[in-house]
Amino acid sequence: MGKVRIGVNGYGTIGKRVAWAVMKQPDMELVGVVKTKPSWEALSATARGIRLYVPEGKEELFENTGIKVAGTVQDLLQAIDVVVDATPAGVGATYARRYREAGIKAVFQGGEEKSIADVSFNALYTYEAALGKASVRVVSCNTTGILRVLYAFRKVGNVRSVRVTIVRRGADLKEVKKGPIEGLLLKPAKPPSHHAEDVRSVAGHDLDIITYSVVAPTTLAHMHVMFVRFDSNVSRENIIKAFEETPRIVLLKASTASSTAEVRELARDLGRCGDIYEVIVWPESLWVKGNEAGVAYMVHQEAIVVPENIDAIRAITGIVEDGAQSIRLTDESLGISRWLP
Ligand code: NAD
């Protein structure tokens, strides 16, 4: 089988990172990306040599600002096997029918309703369930973070309940019109936040989980504090071992860097463009007493779902049937878990 041909609809925070990651995969080819406005993001694509496709009738608008257009959205849909839809939350739903009619498979993002796709996707949990499906929805950044940490806890024992407080970044770096610029916002006021249901859609509908969500005036990353209760007593050593053995989790000593600012800057210093695909777990934060454990960790919202999107493409096309193998391929290509000495 030749390379899988990919188009990315929506070249924003998530879409551009997925497009760059696709370009690094040996079994995928990026055909092009869709932009609706001739903004700086359109320039970012063409400057990297990425072909730009635009909605029908907008070719002139782009060409007039000096941005070269390769074709229309329809041209792109006809030239690809899989579309990664990374349009703003809710916009993906307006394209779903068009993707089906074009006969292509689709990867949607966490801002869409669960019902948009056949499977809610996380590579550690639902790779096999997604094999050969027409569409999947990669769950959101916070949900992905919770799922990876929960996966490690489940290696240690039977998890009876999960309680998470999520401190969410208020906006991404480029979102100049968004806040809050002061204050912490409990959103929603009544728990659980939507993340609990989202985690259940992947980890199992009978999971006892409650999440609180607090929006904070920062653009750098989310921070979570998770408490779990097991059926029987657990040991600190076994939990640390489970974190070490779980893909896409990195243990970083708080004595080295305990703030989201320091960790992001460290990632920049070590050649990652500041992008952190892994959940960063602080080992000092691990608290264990009998059958209870608690831990704090960081989730870089702009990057964490990127490897999941790559695995989602392999799952729905069936080019790799084994989830663990796809994870290895993706992680190798993106330098995952190898950026810290
Ligand atoms: P974004 O606003 O940064 O990017 C969306 C892109 O889609 C922009 O380039 C915009 O110009 C383009 N667009 C807008 N309308 C369009 C249309 N009708 N057709 C084609 N393109 C259109 O958004 P984002 O933050 O990348 O979010 C995309 C999805 O990823 C959402 O579902 C979101 O919930 C999810 N997500 C976001 C984050 C995050 O932290 N930013 C993390 C995980 C998941």
Pairing of strands 209-216, 185-186: antiparallel
How far does residue 12's CA lie from ligand 1's centre (Å)? 5
Shared domain for 293 and 147, answered yes or no, is: yes
Shared domain for 292 and 166, answered yes or no, is: yes
How far does residue 255's CA lie from ligand 1's centre (Å)? 35
- At 271 the pLDDT is 84
Please name the residue whose Cα sits nearest to atom 1 of ligand 1: 12
pLDDT at 315 over 80: yes
Shared domain for 171 and 290, answered yes or no, is: yes
* Model confidence pLDDT, tens digit, residues 186-212: 999 999 999 999 999 999 999 999 999
Q: Is residue 195 part of a domain?
A: yes
How far does residue 236's CA lie from ligand 1's centre (Å)? 39
* Model confidence pLDDT, tens digit, residues 269-278: 998 888 999 9
- Positions of E strands within the chain: 4-9, 28-34, 52-54, 71-72, 82-85, 105-108, 119-121, 135-138, 159-169, 185-186, 209-216, 222-230, 249-251, 279-281, 287-289, 292-299
Tokens of residue 195, six digits = 């993340």
Q: Is residue 233 part of a domain?
A: yes
Catalytic site positions: 141
- At 229 the pLDDT is 98
pLDDT at 1 over 80: no
Point out which residues pair with 101 in neighbouring strands.
none
CB-based pocket (< 6 A), ligand 1: 9-15, 34, 36-37, 41, 86-89, 91, 109-112, 140-141, 172, 301-302, 305
CATH number at residue 33: 3.40.50.720
End-to-end CA distance of the chain: 37
CATH number at residue 186: 3.30.360.10
Rounded mean pLDDT, 138-151: 98
* Model confidence pLDDT, tens digit, residues 147-171: 999 999 999 999 999 999 999 999 9
302 pLDDT band, cuts 50/70/90, is very high
Instruction: Give the C-alpha separation, 86 to 91, whole Å.
Output: 9
Q: Is residue 192 part of a domain?
A: yes
